[in-house]
Protein backbone atom coordinates (compact mmCIF):
# COMPACT_ATOMS: atom_id res chain seq x y z
CA UNK A 1 0.00 0.00 0.00
CA UNK A 2 1.33 3.46 -0.86
CA UNK A 3 1.89 5.84 2.02
CA UNK A 4 -0.98 8.18 1.05
CA UNK A 5 -3.34 5.20 0.88
CA UNK A 6 -2.20 4.07 4.33
CA UNK A 7 -2.80 7.53 5.76
CA UNK A 8 -6.27 7.67 4.20
CA UNK A 9 -7.05 4.19 5.58
CA UNK A 10 -5.87 5.29 9.04
CA UNK A 11 -8.17 8.31 9.01
CA UNK A 12 -11.11 6.20 7.86
CA UNK A 13 -10.61 3.84 10.83
CA UNK A 14 -10.16 6.76 13.27
CA UNK A 15 -13.24 8.46 11.87
CA UNK A 16 -15.35 5.36 12.36
CA UNK A 17 -14.31 5.20 16.01
CA UNK A 18 -15.19 8.86 16.59
CA UNK A 19 -18.57 9.02 14.85
CA UNK A 20 -21.36 7.80 17.19
CA UNK A 21 -22.85 4.53 15.99
CA UNK A 22 -26.48 4.88 14.81
CA UNK A 23 -27.79 2.38 17.39
CA UNK A 24 -26.53 4.61 20.21
CA UNK A 25 -29.04 7.41 20.79
CA UNK A 26 -27.97 9.64 23.68
CA UNK A 27 -29.31 12.96 24.88
CA UNK A 28 -28.70 16.24 23.04
CA UNK A 29 -28.60 17.99 26.44
CA UNK A 30 -26.20 17.53 29.34
CA UNK A 31 -27.32 16.17 32.71
CA UNK A 32 -27.86 19.17 35.02
CA UNK A 33 -26.15 17.84 38.17
CA UNK A 34 -27.75 20.50 40.42
CA UNK A 35 -31.31 19.80 39.18
CA UNK A 36 -32.65 19.08 42.68
CA UNK A 37 -32.07 22.77 43.50
CA UNK A 38 -34.18 23.95 40.53
CA UNK A 39 -37.46 25.72 41.21
CA UNK A 40 -40.75 23.77 41.19
CA UNK A 41 -43.39 25.77 39.30
CA UNK A 42 -47.12 25.26 39.29
CA UNK A 43 -48.27 24.21 35.80
CA UNK A 44 -51.31 22.31 34.49
CA UNK A 45 -49.51 18.97 34.74
CA UNK A 46 -48.20 19.66 38.24
CA UNK A 47 -51.70 20.72 39.26
CA UNK A 48 -53.47 17.72 37.71
CA UNK A 49 -50.96 15.62 39.65
CA UNK A 50 -49.15 13.92 36.79
CA UNK A 51 -49.78 11.50 33.95
CA UNK A 52 -52.55 8.88 34.26
CA UNK A 53 -52.74 5.34 32.90
CA UNK A 54 -53.99 4.36 29.45
CA UNK A 55 -57.60 3.78 30.59
CA UNK A 56 -58.07 7.36 31.87
CA UNK A 57 -60.68 9.50 30.10
CA UNK A 58 -58.70 12.53 28.94
CA UNK A 59 -61.08 13.50 26.12
CA UNK A 60 -61.86 16.86 27.73
CA UNK A 61 -58.18 17.91 27.82
CA UNK A 62 -56.44 19.91 25.05
CA UNK A 63 -55.13 17.70 22.20
CA UNK A 64 -51.50 18.05 23.29
CA UNK A 65 -52.28 16.59 26.74
CA UNK A 66 -54.25 13.74 25.14
CA UNK A 67 -51.25 12.94 22.95
CA UNK A 68 -48.89 13.19 25.93
CA UNK A 69 -50.98 10.65 27.85
CA UNK A 70 -51.15 8.38 24.76
CA UNK A 71 -47.35 8.57 24.35
CA UNK A 72 -46.44 7.92 27.99
CA UNK A 73 -49.36 6.06 29.67
CA UNK A 74 -47.84 2.62 28.98
CA UNK A 75 -44.48 3.34 30.65
CA UNK A 76 -45.96 1.72 33.79
CA UNK A 77 -49.21 -0.33 34.09
CA UNK A 78 -50.83 2.35 36.30
CA UNK A 79 -49.40 5.21 34.19
CA UNK A 80 -46.25 7.29 34.75
CA UNK A 81 -47.71 8.98 37.85
CA UNK A 82 -46.61 12.18 39.57
CA UNK A 83 -44.93 14.85 37.46
CA UNK A 84 -43.46 18.21 38.44
CA UNK A 85 -42.00 20.98 36.31
CA UNK A 86 -38.68 22.34 37.61
CA UNK A 87 -36.94 25.37 36.12
CA UNK A 88 -33.33 26.49 36.47
CA UNK A 89 -33.41 29.48 38.88
CA UNK A 90 -31.83 31.82 36.27
CA UNK A 91 -34.54 30.83 33.73
CA UNK A 92 -37.63 31.23 35.93
CA UNK A 93 -38.42 34.72 34.62
CA UNK A 94 -38.07 33.55 31.00
CA UNK A 95 -40.30 30.50 31.66
CA UNK A 96 -42.95 32.66 33.33
CA UNK A 97 -42.82 35.23 30.49
CA UNK A 98 -43.16 32.40 27.93
CA UNK A 99 -41.77 34.49 25.10
CA UNK A 100 -39.41 31.80 23.78
CA UNK A 101 -36.20 33.64 24.68
CA UNK A 102 -34.01 31.22 26.65
CA UNK A 103 -30.31 31.15 27.50
CA UNK A 104 -28.16 28.41 26.01
CA UNK A 105 -27.75 25.36 28.25
CA UNK A 106 -30.23 23.25 30.19
CA UNK A 107 -33.33 25.22 31.26
CA UNK A 108 -36.39 23.11 32.17
CA UNK A 109 -37.13 19.69 33.66
CA UNK A 110 -40.20 17.50 33.79
CA UNK A 111 -39.57 15.31 36.85
CA UNK A 112 -41.46 12.03 36.60
CA UNK A 113 -41.29 11.42 40.33
CA UNK A 114 -42.68 7.89 40.52
CA UNK A 115 -40.53 6.72 37.59
CA UNK A 116 -37.45 8.52 39.03
CA UNK A 117 -36.79 9.98 35.59
CA UNK A 118 -36.12 13.54 34.45
CA UNK A 119 -36.92 14.92 31.01
CA UNK A 120 -34.59 17.83 30.25
CA UNK A 121 -35.10 20.68 27.78
CA UNK A 122 -32.21 22.96 26.96
CA UNK A 123 -31.38 25.43 24.23
CA UNK A 124 -28.47 25.59 21.84
CA UNK A 125 -28.10 28.55 19.50
CA UNK A 126 -31.68 29.48 20.46
CA UNK A 127 -33.13 26.10 19.40
CA UNK A 128 -34.62 23.62 21.90
CA UNK A 129 -32.76 20.35 22.59
CA UNK A 130 -33.89 17.35 24.66
CA UNK A 131 -32.71 14.47 26.82
CA UNK A 132 -34.01 11.84 29.25
CA UNK A 133 -32.10 10.69 32.33
CA UNK A 134 -32.50 8.72 35.53
CA UNK A 135 -32.48 10.91 38.65
CA UNK A 136 -28.79 10.14 39.17
CA UNK A 137 -27.75 11.06 35.65
CA UNK A 138 -27.79 7.90 33.57
CA UNK A 139 -28.66 8.85 29.99
CA UNK A 140 -31.73 6.82 29.00
CA UNK A 141 -32.50 8.69 25.77
CA UNK A 142 -33.54 6.07 23.21
CA UNK A 143 -33.17 5.85 19.44
CA UNK A 144 -36.95 5.53 18.93
CA UNK A 145 -40.18 5.45 20.94
CA UNK A 146 -41.31 7.58 23.90
CA UNK A 147 -37.76 8.34 25.14
CA UNK A 148 -36.32 9.44 21.78
CA UNK A 149 -35.40 13.08 21.16
CA UNK A 150 -37.32 13.00 17.87
CA UNK A 151 -40.48 12.13 19.88
CA UNK A 152 -39.86 15.12 22.16
CA UNK A 153 -39.30 17.36 19.12
CA UNK A 154 -42.43 16.12 17.28
CA UNK A 155 -44.64 17.17 20.17
CA UNK A 156 -42.79 20.18 21.66
CA UNK A 157 -42.24 21.75 18.22
CA UNK A 158 -45.36 20.29 16.57
CA UNK A 159 -47.97 22.01 18.72
CA UNK A 160 -46.89 25.48 17.64
CA UNK A 161 -50.00 27.17 19.01
CA UNK A 162 -49.38 25.58 22.39
CA UNK A 163 -45.61 25.47 22.86
CA UNK A 164 -43.21 28.39 22.68
CA UNK A 165 -39.68 27.49 21.48
CA UNK A 166 -39.74 24.16 23.33
CA UNK A 167 -41.76 25.31 26.36
CA UNK A 168 -45.18 23.61 26.51
CA UNK A 169 -46.23 24.28 30.12
CA UNK A 170 -47.27 27.60 31.58
CA UNK A 171 -47.23 28.94 35.11
CA UNK A 172 -50.61 28.99 36.81
CA UNK A 173 -50.91 31.68 39.44
CB nearer ligand HEC, residue 6 or residue 89? 89
Report the distance separating Cα 119 and Cα 112, nearest Å. 8
CB nearer ligand HEC, residue 10 or residue 40? 40
The greatest distance separating any two alpha carbons of the chain, rounded to the nearest whole angstrom, comes to 72
Rule CB under 6 A: say whether 140 interacts with ligand HEC. Answer: no
Rule CB under 6 A: say whether 117 interacts with ligand HEC. Answer: no
Rule CB under 6 A: say whether 129 interacts with ligand HEC. Answer: no
Other residues' Cβ atoms within 10 Å of the Cβ of residue 96: 13
Nearest to 122 by CA among 105, 109, 134, 138: 105
Query: Mask of contacts with ligand HEC, 93-112, x by CB under 6 A?
Result: ---------------xxx--
Query: Mask of contacts with ligand HEC, 7-36, x by CB under 6 A?
Result: ------------------------------
Residues 137-156: b if buried by 16+ CB within 10 A, e if exposed: eebebeeeeebbbebbbeeb
Rule CB under 6 A: say whether 45 interacts with ligand HEC. Answer: yes
Cα distances from 28 to residues 68, 71, 106, 115, 149, in angstroms, run: 21, 20, 10, 21, 8
Rule CB under 6 A: say whether 119 interacts with ligand HEC. Answer: yes
# residues near ligand HEC by CB under 6 A:
26
Report the distance separating Cα 121 and Cα 132, nearest Å. 9
CB nearer ligand HEC, residue 13 or residue 154? 154
Candidates 28, 50, 65, 112: give the one binding ligand HEC (CB under 6 A): 65
Those residues whose C-beta lies under 8 Å from the C-beta of residue 38, and which sit 6 or more positions away, are: 32, 86, 87, 88, 89, 109
**Rule CB under 6 A: which residues touch ligand HEC?**
43-46, 64-65, 67-68, 71, 85, 108-110, 119-121, 130, 132, 147, 151-152, 155-156, 167-169
Amino acid sequence: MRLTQRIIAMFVVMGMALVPQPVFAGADTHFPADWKKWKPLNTVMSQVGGLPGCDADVSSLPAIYQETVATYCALRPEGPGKAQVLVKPASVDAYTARKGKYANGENFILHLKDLKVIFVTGHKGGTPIYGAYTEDGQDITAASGPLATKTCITCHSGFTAFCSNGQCGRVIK
